[in-house]
Amino acid sequence: MAIREIRVVPDPVLRTPCDEIREITPAVRRLVQDLLDTVNDPGRAGLSANQIGVSLRAFSYNIDGHVGYILNPVLEETSGEQYGDEGCLSVPGLWYKTRRADHARVRGIDLDGKEVVLEGAGLMGRMLQHECDHLDGHVYLDRLEKDERREAMRYMRTHQR
């Protein structure tokens, strides 16, 4: 279908919790294809629907060559801890060490309404949490320590397009 433009902070769509998908329509099918096309680019681990301007609970992922999607994901379990570099397509040019659970499990559905469970540790666990945060209206900068968050926001203000 299409590689879509990525919305960047401070676009209000990124701060708005996304709506549950209640019906699998042709528009939802196009959205999933656009998410898959847009995430299938080197260096992209995940992409939520609101990052391309659509306030619906869906995201795509591209981890270790595995590309997929999930609709109406719910983060249902996390365990362990990791503290490592994290970036975001909606916050271009910034990478900060971010504390996350090491392992995460998300449950949702596919385009046929069948249950999907995604889980993993390391990068997969980080991506699952990162994308669910997006769908709840949060960006990873919200998880930074106060001084780093202040520095990141100052950078964003001075480097806006």
Could you list the pLDDT tens digit for every one of the 161 residues in the chain? 689 999 999 999 999 999 999 999 999 999 999 999 999 988 899 999 999 999 999 999 999 989 999 999 999 999 999 999 999 999 998 999 999 999 999 999 999 999 999 999 999 999 999 999 999 999 999 999 898 889 888 888 887 65
Q: Which pLDDT score, from 0 to 100, does residue 117 have?
A: 98
**131 in catalytic set:** yes
Alpha-carbon distance of 20 to 43, in angstroms, equals: 28
Q: Which pLDDT score, from 0 to 100, does residue 160 have?
A: 66
Annotation: binding site for Fe cation: 88, 130, 134
pTM for the whole thing? 0.94
Q: Which entry of 131, 145, 148, 151 is annotated as an active-site residue?
A: 131
Annotation: binding site: 88, 130, 134
Domains and CATH numbers, the chain: 12-160 (3.90.45.10)
Q: Which pLDDT score, from 0 to 100, does residue 153 have?
A: 84
